[in-house]
Amino acid sequence: MPTVYAAPEGFTIRALDPDAVDAAAPTLADVLLDCVHGGASVSFRAGLTRDQAEAFWRGVAEEQRADGRAVLVAEDDAEIVGVVEVIPAWADNQPHRADIAKMLVHRRARRRGLAEALLRAAEAAAADMAKTLLVLDTVTGGDAERLYTRASWTKVGVIPDYALFPDGRFCDTTVFYKRVVI
């Protein structure tokens, strides 16, 4: 039975295994495309195609098989509307660490506490994986930066011009960490 996490009313947050990630690739692609089309700097540029977005998620399923990452999705009554990954550090001297990545919420599901619930679920999944240190990065000055600050993540600093927005403009990135109690 898949792990289910606390979620706002009207949503469910659950973990997917690699086969389920692969099967959900079209819907996960919808969430990724919506975020990129909405201007989010999430590793992709304008012009991202559906095929590329689906291929990305199919690749995540393969990586999950190899590294044991957690892929958590948020669903409403209709479909997946959010996702987050907890990716174990690859280095042998960092068995206690994981990265939070691709925390995405479809624009139609925002402003209802879903991102915060996904973040809490990711923290719980990390604890289940015996990870005691989490790191992430996000666009400086964005809603996600405010979320991580409210959620008691510690700001490390800002890296200027770290990435690009989908339209090609540079964006600064803020790095955060959080200790997890297991």
The tens digit of pLDDT for each residue in 60-96 reads 999 999 999 999 999 999 999 999 999 999 999 999 9
Can you tell me the mean pLDDT for 158-169? 97
Residue 148 near residue 138, CB atoms below 8 Å = yes
Phi/psi of residue 34, nearest 5 degrees: -60, -45
**What are the phi and psi torsion angles at 103 (to 5°)?**
-80, 105
User: How far are the Cα atoms of 84, 125, 142, 157 from residue 92, in angstroms, in the given order?
Assistant: 24, 20, 33, 26
**Whether pLDDT at 152 is above 70:** yes
Please tell me the distance from the alpha carbon of residue 25 to that of residue 33, in angstroms, as a whole number. 12
Label residue 1 by pLDDT band (50, 70, 90). low
Q: Please state the CATH superfamily assignment of the domain spanning residues 4-134 in this structure.
A: Gcn5-related N-acetyltransferase (GNAT) (3.40.630.30)
Domains in the chain: boundaries = 4-134
Would you state the structure tokens that stand for residue 140, as one six-digit string? 């400086």
Structure tokens at 7: 């979620």
- ∠ Cα 165 83 1 (to 5°): 165
Name the helix (H) or strand (E) containing 137: strand 133-139
Residue 114 is encoded by which pair of tokens? 């879903």
